Copies of this chain bind each other. A is one copy, B any other.
Amino acid sequence: MPSAYTRLTSRFQRLSRFGHLSAIAGWDMMTMMSPGGSRARGEALAELSVLQHQILTSPETAVDLVQAKQESLSDDEWVNLAEMERAWQQAVILPARLVEAKSVAGSRCENAWRSQRPANDWKGFAENLKEVVYLSRQEAEIRAQNAGVSRYDALLDIYEPGMTSCQLDTIFSDIKSWLPDLLQRVITHQSEQSIQQPQGPFTIENQRHLGLKAMETLGFDFDAGRLDVSAHPFCGGVPQDVRITTRYDQQNFLSALMGVIHETGHARYEQNLPTQWPGQPIALARSTAIHESQSLFFEMQLGRSPAFLARILPEVINHLGVQPALTQQNFIRLAQRVEPGLIRVNADEVSYPAHIILRYEIERALIESEIEVEDIPALWQEKMERLLGMDTTGNYRNGCMQDIHWTDGAFGYFPTYTLGAMYAAQLFQALGRTLPDVEQLIADGDLQPVFIWLQENIWHHGSRFSTRELITRASGEDLNPRWFRQHLESRYLAD
């Protein structure tokens, strides 16, 4: 008779195999699927998610979770057990009916969004979104009552265990206190610099090969993953086969290149998660914000640093051809250009937090029933005006319809982007204390010591430590927004 803990590990391995199929079918939906397949795919994925929910919330799981606590377990097994219990807890409180309804409504909303967004069809989109919000509030209410927290905090905890809106409010109000001013100073500073735009078109094929070269430089394992195209770049698949995507703009090669570098950060985290616990929660990435810290470490700390840009420039020229805009100085200016815009995913790292704070404030109010779906456009308009000085009236496509997140009810996710940016800055700062010559290493293309540091401090730990413990072990302190501010000031105002 296997122990309760052993039974649990078998069950979680089985769940992980179903998760594998769900990840691949989900990736396929965004990259390969014909439009006609969407309904059947939605139903198939919903059926699978019901099954996963059933396995996770079966009475046997509950009994085994209790029983396993009586067994003699190693430290890692205790951690794994706690992660199992957390997953079980997250799942068991939702009725299967709600899980399925959310999945179906989310698929419908997301698929319609793919054509509604280009058509600027806010009315059509709002119809579907209302259903998603309605179901997300139900979910939040159930979770909130169980955890004794607010509705929004209950959703936030899914992506960022331990984080609260109270903490976020503190951090974000700090950022709001200096960001608009910093932004203005950077813009003024940069307005004194001349900058030359590269002349496209740059073919997709050439950009793709440049992206693959960057992935290679950054250590992506092509035996365990691939690069494709999707409307909204993401990192999907499974650790043994990581699927990253980008999208190409023939006039602007930097957008796809930096997107690829960003997703490569996610990918390397996945590809380097611990392998000694196959299919177990302890082997998963720590949290959404830590995941984002890796992509932003790659894109912002490494990718847009002068040393890395100088290093990659010959490859850019090699793939896209010589042109006046591709001098080292101008290339760095292009990659570090700060220019507030409407689109979050195109935003520079200085204005990015404004996009997040705006979404955070809206989604929190939405989940707490302080506002309704109809109120979103006006609030969006007002906050964009205030935070970035931009007008989005009537421009739903590039306003509140620009992101995929809300379409399938991922409320509570947005804050993790800016948390990730702050963790990334803090980790890079800590790395610099271990490797004082890090800039020289990057300039020499000797990135291995950087990857080893990330592997030892982040990747190989999976979910062995809490976010707080992980970040404290790696950097000597809990999340401290000062490193992010210092990074922005030194990068954008120093010279």
| A interface residues (Cβ-Cβ under 8 A, vs B) | 14, 17-18, 20-22, 24-25, 28, 32-37, 39-41, 43-45, 47-48, 51, 221-226, 237-238, 240-241
Sample of 18 further A-B pairs with CB below 8 A, known A24-B24, A32-B32, A32-B226: A17-B40, A17-B43, A18-B48, A20-B41, A20-B44, A21-B22, A21-B45, A28-B28, A33-B241, A34-B226, A34-B241, A35-B223, A36-B225, A36-B240, A36-B241, A37-B224, A39-B240, A51-B51
Residue from the list B33, B36, B51 in contact with A221, Cβ < 8 A = B36
Cα–Cα, bound, A47→B21 (Å): 10
Closest B residue by C-beta to A51: B51
Give the docked Cα–Cα distance between A425 and B221 (Å).
Answer: 50
Residue pairs across A and B with Cβ atoms less than 8 A apart, 24 shown, are: A17-B47, A18-B47, A20-B41, A20-B43, A20-B44, A21-B44, A24-B24, A24-B25, A24-B28, A24-B41, A25-B25, A28-B28, A32-B32, A32-B226, A34-B223, A34-B224, A34-B225, A34-B241, A35-B223, A37-B237, A37-B240, A37-B241, A39-B240, A40-B238
Hey, which chain B residues are within 8 Å of A14, CB to CB? 47
A47 surroundings in chain B (CB, below 8 A): 14, 17-18
* Residue of B whose beta carbon sits closest to that of A14: B47
Q: How far is the CB of A362 from chain B (nearest CB, A)?
A: 35
Task: Determine if A40 and B226 form an interchain contact, defined as CB atoms under 8 angstroms apart.
Answer: no
CB-defined contacts of A225 to chain B, threshold 8 Å? 34, 36
Could you tell me the distance in whole angstroms from the C-beta of A88 to the nearest C-beta in chain B? Answer: 20
Query: For A20, A22, A221, which residue has the most chain B Cβ atoms within 10 angstroms?
Result: A20
Chain B: minimal CB distance from A305 (Å)? 29
Identical chains bound together, number: 2
List the B side residues contacting A37 at CB < 8 Å.
224, 237-238, 240-241
Question: For residue A21, which residues in chain B have a CB less than 8 angstroms away from its CB?
Answer: 21-22, 25, 44-45, 48
Could you tell me if A20 and B40 are in contact, using CB atoms closer than 8 angstroms? Answer: yes
Chain B residues contacting A48 (CB-CB under 8 Å) are: 17-18, 21
A169→B40 CA distance, assembly (Å): 42
The interface residues of chain A, by DSSP majority, are classed as helix
Residues of B within 8 A of A240 (CB): 34, 36-37, 39-40
Known: A34-B222, A225-B34. A241 touches B18 (CB 8 A): no
- Report whether A241 and B20 are in contact in the complex, using a CB–CB cutoff of 8 Å: no
Chain B residue at smallest Cβ distance from A241? B37
Q: How far is the CA of A44 from the CA of B25 in the complex (A)?
A: 12
List, in ascending order, chain B residues with CB within 8 A of A35's CB: 223
Closest to A226 in B: B34
Say how far A253's CB is from chain B's closest CB, in angstroms.
21
Once the chains are docked, how many angstroms separate the CA of A51 from the CA of B48? 11
**A28 (CB) vs chain B CBs: closest residue:** B24
Most buried by B among A48, A221, A226, A240: A240
- The residue in A20, A25, A44, A47 that gathers the most chain B C-beta atoms within 10 A of its C-beta is A44
A224 near B20 (CB under 8 angstroms)? no
* Residue of B whose beta carbon sits closest to that of A205: B205
Assess the A18–B44 pair: CB atoms within 8 A: yes
Indicate which residue in B40, B237, B241 contacts A241 across the interface (CB closer than 8 Å): B40
**Nearest B residue (CB) for A36:** B224
* A18→B44 CA distance, assembly (Å): 6
* Cα–Cα distance between A28 and B47 once the two chains are bound (Å): 20
Q: Closest residue of chain B to A29, judged by CB? A: B24
Complex Cα spacing A225 to B395, Å: 33
- Separation in Å of the A243 CB from the closest CB of chain B? 8
Given the complex, which residues of B lie within 8 Å of A223, measured CB to CB? 34-36
Chain B residues contacting A226 (CB-CB under 8 Å) are 32, 34
- The 5 A-B pairs with the shortest beta carbon distances in the complex, nearest first, are A37-B241, A36-B224, A20-B44, A17-B47, A17-B44
Alpha-carbon gap, A237 to B28, bound state (A)? 11
CB distance from A280 to the nearest CB of B (A): 14
Q: Is the CB of A241 within 8 A of B24?
A: no
In whole angstroms, what is the CA distance A224 to B38 when docked? 9
User: In the complex, A40→B21 CA distance in Å?
Assistant: 10
